[in-house]
Amino acid sequence: MAIIKNIDKQKIINLLKEHPEYTLADVGRMEGISRERVRVIAGDIPGACRHTHLPRLCKNCGKLLRPYRPHKGLNYSSHREGFCADCWEKEKQRRKEERFKRTNQGFVCEICGKEFWRRNSAVKQAFDRGARVRFCSNKCYGRFRLSKSRPGR
């Protein structure tokens, strides 16, 4: 005789009904059967069937996240990070800007007054040479040199 576990279907159905937070796999582990088996049993009774994972919500807007399916708007990294497709685009942009601000320093050009950015390494290099970052471009530096060499003009 094949070894077939005597499954108490009603108990499994009750577990699923009373604990919407349990996944099929959770119930399977409790009863010593596979998730697939629980799914089949749950399928018998309307209302007891469910997704294998708890619904996940977007961290930002709270929108329900669909299970990961490539090419359906939710890419793997947005899924992993728990953002919907739209919020993930914004989050990526935010992180990019954050990284930029961490690795660059902002300055205001002494000649044209324009705001500009230099990499931290370049600022440090200039500092090591005893210089400061003062001009946005060689053009402005040239204008500065010119104004120095021809006072009064």
Binding site for Zn ion (CB under 5 A): 58, 60-61, 63, 84, 87, 109, 111-112, 114, 136, 140
- Of residues 89 and 97, the one with the C-beta less far from Zn ion: 89
- Of residues 22 and 141, the one with the C-beta less far from Zn ion: 141
- Of residues 31 and 110, the one with the C-beta less far from Zn ion: 110
Nearest distance, CB of residue 93 and Zn ion, angstroms: 14
**Got the DSSP string for 83-140?**
--HHHHHHHHHHHHHHHHHHHEEEEE-TTT--EEEEEHHHHHHHHHTT-----SSHHH
Nearest distance, CB of residue 80 and Zn ion, angstroms: 14
Nearest distance, CB of residue 78 and Zn ion, angstroms: 9
- Using a CB cutoff of 8 Å and minimum separation of 24, what contacts does 10-18 make? 12/38, 12/41, 12/42, 13/41, 13/42, 13/44, 13/45, 13/48, 16/42, 16/48, 16/50, 17/47, 17/48
- Of residues 84 and 133, the one with the C-beta less far from Zn ion: 84
Nearest distance, CB of residue 150 and Zn ion, angstroms: 19
